[in-house]
Each structure stands twice: as C-alpha cells, then as structure tokens.
Amino acid sequence: MAMLRTLLTVLFVLGLAACGFKLRGQIPDLPFQRVYITAPAGQTIGSDLERAISTHTRVQVVKKVEKSEAIIQVVHAIREKRILSLSESGRVREFELIYRVLARLLDTQNTELAPLQEIRLTRILPFLDAQELAKAAEEEMLYKDMQKDAVQQILRQIAAIATSK
C-alpha cells in the first residue's frame, strides 16, 4: 500500500511538471543575462521590478545601460480612486482602486523589441467614516499588492514574448 501511494505521488508530481505548472509568484525565465530598468521618479515599481528579477531569476540587473542586453522601461504607473457606491444619505460606501502600468521592452539602442500591454488592476475598498485611518492604511496596502501583481505580469509578458520568437 505504501509503495502504491509513493508511486501515485511521483506520477502526480511528474504530471504537474510536464504540463508546465508553476506555483503562483514564480517568475519565468527571461531571455536576457543583463537588464537595465528605468521607472518614473518617485515610483517604487522600478525597485520592485529590480528586486523580483534579482531574487527570482538568473538575470543580473545592471546600473549602466551600456552593460545591459535589454531595457525594461516603466512608462507610467498611475493610481486612481473613484467612488463605487453611496449610502442613502450620500456617504461613500465603497471606492474602486485602479492601478495602471505601462512598460516597454527596449534594446540598447532604445528600439522597442515587442509591445507590452498596459496592465490595469482593480480592487474594491469598503469605506466607513469611523475607520478613516485604518482605511487609509488598507488602501496603501491594496496599492502595494496591485503593484506586486503588476510586476509579475510585466515579467510574464516579457517571458511570453521571448518564447514566441
């Protein structure tokens, strides 16, 4: 019985590996050895991209564009907030948080290698006036979470472009 269980476990793991399954959060291999990252001033998405590439891939993030094979340029990272619903008395009940990111993949001569799609992420933030400070912290946490998701999506798009060529 133990032998059968071991055999089934091994077959299950091999089956998952064969279908290309990866745990969420794993970054696919990028087609470059060295990459340079640029982002708008005051945006932390550039450092998040750098950290994700440095810790989860074999790609080296370089500080000088001359030493890179490709450039990941974050064109914009925009936070938006709009009212989603109101109470009977006209007070805000929910906000919709929107995070939009546009990035480009360039070669060292600033020629676009392939177009990347704009990433648009949304989250709903329930709101109560009595919990205003807590909701401000929750809003910031939701934006940081969306930024992490955007970094993952940018890297997946770059990896998908590389495998399609």
**Cα-based distances in Å from 5 to 72, 116, 146:** 46, 45, 40
Question: Is residue 7 assigned to a domain?
Answer: no
Question: What is the spatial distance between Cα 128 and Cα 23, in angstroms, rounded to a whole number?
Answer: 36
CATH number of the domain at 129, please: 3.30.160.150
Average pLDDT score over residue span 51-74: 93
Residue 121's domain comprises 24-164
pLDDT for the residue 40: 93
Residue 27 has pLDDT above 80, yes or no: no
Question: What is the spatial distance between Cα 64 and Cα 62, in angstroms, rounded to a whole number?
Answer: 6
In sign, the C-alpha dihedral spanning 157, 155, 30, 72 is positive
Size of the chain, expressed as the number of residues it contains: 165
pLDDT tens figures, 89-109: 889 999 999 999 999 999 989
Using DSSP bridges, classify how beta strands 92-106 and 112-114 pair: parallel, antiparallel or unpaired: antiparallel
Q: How many independent structural domains does the chain possess?
A: 1
Q: How confident is the model at residue 85 (pLDDT cuts 50, 70, 90)?
A: very high
Shortest CA distance to 40 belongs to which of 80, 75, 70, 78? 75
Phi then psi for residue 117, to 5 deg, are -80, 150
Range of weakest confidence among 20-34, 35-49, 58-72, 130-144: 20-34
Question: Is residue 16 assigned to a domain?
Answer: no
pLDDT tens figures, 109-160: 989 988 899 999 999 999 887 787 788 899 999 999 999 999 999 999 998 8
Question: Is residue 97 assigned to a domain?
Answer: yes
Q: In whole numbers, what is the pLDDT of the chain averaged over residues?
A: 88
Question: Is residue 100 assigned to a domain?
Answer: yes
pLDDT for the residue 80: 97
